[in-house]
Amino acid sequence: MKTLESKVAVITGAASGIGRGMAEAFATAGMRVVLSDVEETALRSTAAELREGGADVHAVPADVSQAADVAALADSTLGKYGAVHVLCNNAGVHTGSRPSWESTLDDWAWILGVNLMGVVHGINTFLPVMIEQDEDAHIVNTASIAGLLTGGSLYGVTKSAVIALSETVHLEVICGGFKPRISVLCPGVVNTNIFNSQRNRPARFPDAGPFPSGWSVDAARQGFALGLSPRVVGEEVVQAIREERFYILTHPEHAGHIEHRMTQILHGENPTIPPFPDS
């Protein structure tokens, strides 16, 4: 997609963090932006702030783990703007980096429902619309560098699955001769509120596993506060859409760690975790 002016973008998890960064970048590019989030108060506030800056935005609350909510998001988007050209399946949660066997089935159900099934619901709902439009279109699925590295607990599992799904859909649309293109966003540490995901945990998943001993949520938040600006990530996404670039890797310092994992796979070696970069 070389031209983004007046095109319609839909972003889930748009009230804060990377989603908001993408919304700001899209608005600057002249796009009309549909903001969606499960956190309604923050969603309304973000929408109001973007409108004050001159953006054409439309806010739709949705829980992406619920297929009916995503279908309603599509209906509202088409009702408002009549088309959709960019979809960012960005909503995500984090349940804590405890050992996987200490995580509860409620932990698994919640994080899989948002991080993986939210992407599935977005693709199943919006991609047929994009194909039917027969115009240039693009889907960006937010994974994480955790999906390309060894470990990562439940979060890493979901992000690995998002990468695999994105690769699959990329090949399917190319082989099918369809116009939409796909990208998978794999950021490293970004200044977001991901470690405060519990604020949006549904009451239907009350059984939360314990936080690891010695692990501090406050320390994690402080570390992430030093991370890359979400707006910078948003600008990178805009550039990747223009270039039809599949992998969006925002932190080049992780290249050696990805190579380390791939080399171990090719050599049939047991997994190990290399030293992590400071930023």
Catalytic machinery residues: 155
Answer yes or no: are the C-beta atoms of 37 and 62 closer than 8 Å.
yes
Beta strands in 13-67 (DSSP E): 32-37, 57-61
- The residue whose two tokens read 């279109």 is 137
User: Which structure tokens are listed for 56?
Assistant: 């054409």
The tokens of 261 are what? 């994992």
For residue 25, give both structure tokens: 């970048």
Residue burial 32-51, b: 16+ Cβ < 10 Å; e: rest: bbbbbbbbeebbeebbeebe
Using DSSP, state whether 33 is helix, strand or coil.
strand
Selection from 19, 116, 106 nearest residue 65 by Cα = 116
Half-sphere exposure of 134 (CA within 13 A, CB side): 1
SS3 category, 142? strand
Return the beta strands (E) in the chain as ranges: 8-12, 32-37, 57-61, 86-89, 138-142, 181-185, 247-248
- What are residue 71's phi and psi, to 5 degrees? -65, -40
